[in-house]
Amino acid sequence: MSESSPELIRPAATVLLLRDAPDFEVLMVKRHHQIDFAAGALVFPGGKSHGGDEDPRWRDLATGWEAVGEDGSALRIAAIREAYEEAGVLLARDGDGAFYEGEAAVEVRAAVAEDRLPFIEVVADLGLKLDLAALTIFARWITPKLMPKRFDTWFYAAHAPGAQQAICDGHEAVDAEWIAPAQALEMAAAGTRKVIFPTRMNLKLLAESASPGEAIARSRDRPLVTVEPWVDGQGLRIPAHAGYGDVIEPLSAL
């Protein structure tokens, strides 16, 4: 079965890195225009899960296993890896349990993204452990059946480490910026930025909170409803009880 087969649904993970200094903002990256999925769009750092995300050695190189639920540890590791590859932010702790404050070398990130260097070796060499508990499940979306490539994407929310600077990788992501959720929605509505349907809906959900703490607390309290949009007339519809309201996305907007 080829990767483009509509029957194949690939596991994926993305992370909403949140900060409130100076204002409540989320980290977003602009996808390269030559990428085959969401080209040129403003998205949260994320991507497909890789085999290395299931390496059994992670048991000794990660903490927060008690926080892992039905999503599974591999998806959380994928989310942390993607944030590292695309934005240079590493959700990990040192030997004293403090959040990692170092900078991610561009050449090392590139080697990880290009599968020339296993992510697990980078973490081990730095003497760190990934913090799986730093991630809170925010949403889960499955690409609709009409799309040529389909993903089962888990969205996570996390406090961004204050001492780390987000810098795009220059390959899959060509820009990285902190942006207020409401501002991102305004730019999408005005057409000044391309924001795909799932990203826009989760920005809308995020904008209902006034701070990272509130957004994460709401995520923990909100029942998780898996969203798999379906065609209804000339639009895509999502479950009304998923938390986004009664939404129909025009097919012409896809």
Domain definitions of the chain by residue range: 9-253
According to DSSP, the residues that pair with 176 across neighbouring strands are 29
What CA–CA distances, in Å, run from 218 to 213, 243, 248? 9, 11, 24
| Residues near 188 by beta carbon (within 8 Å), at least 6 away in sequence | 42, 194, 195, 200, 203
173 CB burial (10 A radius; 0-12, 13-18, 19+) = buried
In tens, the pLDDT along 64-97 reads 999 999 999 999 999 999 999 999 999 999 999 9
Is the link from the previous residue into 22 a cis peptide, with omega within 30 of 0? Answer: yes
State the pLDDT confidence band at 6, using cuts at 50, 70 and 90: very low
148 CB burial (10 A radius; 0-12, 13-18, 19+) = exposed
| In the predicted structure, residue 2 carries a pLDDT above the cut 60 | no
**Pairing of β 42-43 and β 173-179:** unpaired
Task: Locate 166 and state its tokens.
Answer: 């987000």
Single pTM value for the model:
0.91
Q: Can you tell me whether residue 215 is helix, strand or coil?
A: helix
Where is 79: in which H helix or E strand? helix 73-87
In tens, the pLDDT along 18-62 reads 999 889 999 999 865 545 555 568 899 999 999 999 999 999 999
In tens, the pLDDT along 92-114 reads 999 999 999 988 888 999 899 99
Superfamily (CATH) of domain 9-253: Nucleoside Triphosphate Pyrophosphohydrolase (3.90.79.10)
Q: Which of 68-72, 128-132, 139-143, 162-166 has the lowest mean pLDDT?
A: 162-166
How far apart are alpha carbons 49 and 106 in whole angstroms? Answer: 21
How far apart are alpha carbons 36 and 176 in whole angstroms? Answer: 19
Question: Contact 109/80 with Cβ under 8 angstroms?
Answer: no
How far apart are alpha carbons 185 and 187 in whole angstroms? Answer: 5
